[in-house]
Structure 1
Amino acid sequence: MERVLRRFSVAQRIGAIILLLLAPLATLSVVSMAVLNRQEMAFRDSVEESLHTLLPLSTLEQLLQRAMVDELEAQSHESVPDFASLTDNIDHTFATVETSGAGADVPMDRLTAAQQAWVQARPSVQRLIEQVTRSQAGDGDVTAALSRRELSKAISDVRDARKHLAAAVKGRYERAAAMRHRQLWWLVFGWAITLAAAAAMIVIVLRSILRPIHELGSSAGRFAAGDMSARLKVRGRDELSMLAEQFNAMAAYWEQTHREAMAEATVDALTGLPNRRRILALLAAELDVHRSGQRPLAVFMVDLNNFKSINDTYGHAAGDEALVWVAERMRAVLREGDHLGRLGGDEFLIVLPDTSPEQARELGERMAGAIASAAAGSTTRPTIGLGLATAPEHSWHMATLLGQADQDMYLGKRRARLDRNDDVM
């Protein structure tokens, strides 16, 4: 996913983040408003339907209760309620509820019970209507025939019809309320899922932006700390990928420059050996290691015999060639792990780790003999003089060891000159 996103620019991905934030919020807001408005309208319609459905039966029950108390207002020469109109209204209400209740939101068992109760109540109400009608015509006997028993039965039947109808309306309302509750839960669930998906996509997009920046900072920190091998992975074609490529190119250039600078600072340009700074640093490091472990170490100071004569007679080019030739011969005799460096001029330093004095002398004799044999008969190939110092016999201090090796080398040269003078005499 990140590699795919890295094909787009940072600006495009930031635009995608904004879109992922605004689009779900706008969509969900519109959907939420629509659902809530629909529920509000459904609730209002449900309340109005409940009033229109139950009001006729409630009014009829109330009027019958009043007639029960007053034994009909007609007897006191007051106006008589319009029972016939209420009865027709109730019949129309049941017809309407039955037609609209064909769906699954009306409990049909309760609606049927309400209709049956009204069927039982309607004869008593009808007789009451007939009696009231005759009473209005002036029939006093009919008025007297209106008994409390008839009123009580009519009231009871109407009350039963109202209760059953109220239960049916309540069941319909409860089902509608449950459906609205489910809609709200689905709406909340939709909000949660949509926002979670948007958040996940935003995290992925932000990661595709922030991860390369973090890697760039980490690699730059490593590079600043001296790790010239620090590089970045190029994963896409966006601005950050171009920056990574430029960083890698810069790091490669500085690594090469650093390598060349270090070579110039630590390598002798003529012989390719460690220069004075480098060989003395290697000697100091080996002394620390061998002193802590009490292991033997040997040092040879080396210079070339008759080097000045070669330079004066054949020129500096011949002298440089002689230096390179001697360096190669000494390197061929040394073991793996031994160090050879040029101190300057025609002087070299050899560091022999884990080497006893006897082993060092044997190696020095072999080296001097090999070079003398190779130089025999050549006026441009010099021999070498060696001076030995060992630790811990002489010292663990570098300056003392170098002084001892230098002194031993000049003592050896002096002995060699004396021996040549004796041979001449």
Structure 2
Amino acid sequence: MQKIGNRRLSIVQRLGLGVSFMLLPVLGLAVVSFVSFESAIATLEGNQDRMLEEQFPLVQLEQLLLEALDLLEGFQKFGVLPQQQARWIQLHQEIEQTFENLLNAPSQLHEKHRFVLEIQQSWQQAQANSSWIVKQSVHADVPDPSLADQVMVKQQVEQAIRASRRLDRLLTSFRNDDNLTQARLMKYRVRLLVAGILTLALFMAVISGLILARSILKPLKQLQYGVAKFGDGELSHRIYLNTHDELDLLAQTVNWMAENLEQNQQMLTELATMDELTKVYNRREFNRRLALELARSQREGHSVSLMMIDIDHFKKLNDTYGHQAGDEALRQVSHIIKTEVRPSDQPARYGGEEFAVILPYASRDEVYVVAERLRQHIAAHDVQIHQGLVLKVTASLGCATFPLDAQSADRLTAEADRSLYEAKDNGRNQVCQASVPLPQSRVG
């Protein structure tokens, strides 16, 4: 009788010992339970794949719209430059193609088509009102757009971005509700299986049935608990049975599914927060993290410093050696930044050839030391583009400290940016700080 309850034996072996009592019904339940779990796993995996396929174009659209917004801010500050004008035209084509993909993609969410049309309408209005971007460099007599026209185009792009984010949240909520329904169904099936095993065990044989039920119910309850955790969104939870039987294999399958879902979520998070070229945070994630650090600084009473970094003569490098050389220079400079800053610092690509680093707990003097060390490492580094082509690059850096130099995220960014352009105006390859003049570094 003890062997029937031995969890080191497989379910089939245990059932074989009590074949005269429970063989047929328990085998049937084992098959039903396995098929039920496999079906639920396949359904959840299918939902996850559909979510990735449906949300990836939307994430791509949001990134393109954010880039368009950055270009508009550049047009407003510096005018329409040929390179940025060409990128604007290319962005228009990429965004329209993304809209076409979104509209043609099937979706179980009925409101999706309406949201996409709303986003497209905002973008098309912005495109129609921004014809001066294309015409200005082609026709020299085209007047500069008014500030109101520029602001209107920018607001329309921002409206499209907000609508895309609302749609992204709606899609995520829809898929989460669907996954939760599937998890509840799995939970319900597990309860039915447990009840069935108990009932059959009591009817077939009281003593051996109870022993066998005990050997099966405990891992099933662990599975039930794990599936409930999974249904609640705790994808990091794992089920460990150590029973060396079919239920253990099932637990491993559920764990594998949870791990895949967790990795997919991490991948989506990385797509939304990281710059693909330089592997540091993107502009949107930088803004979010800066706001969090300043809020924590106000609660705890410590300082936060911001460092802005701009590669000197980057446009000339691009024009002379090509965009691939420029991309490689950006990658290598970002690697130097990640290597040289502190583990707690948060580097990001601010835009184009400009980087930003958030330095929590860093005073004015400390951020200057870090910035100067970083400037020296960049200047000393050989940027190898390909075999036979090695370039030297330098960088200008601007620093500002909260709350000493500014009392808000926007002002802190503006002060650091102003210091950066002061460094560039003073000859480049040097560090400048907000408010306090610093000794100039040697220009390389």
What TM-score comes out, normalization by structure 1 length? Answer: 0.49
What TM-score comes out, normalization by structure 2 length? Answer: 0.47
Structure number with bigger Rg: 1
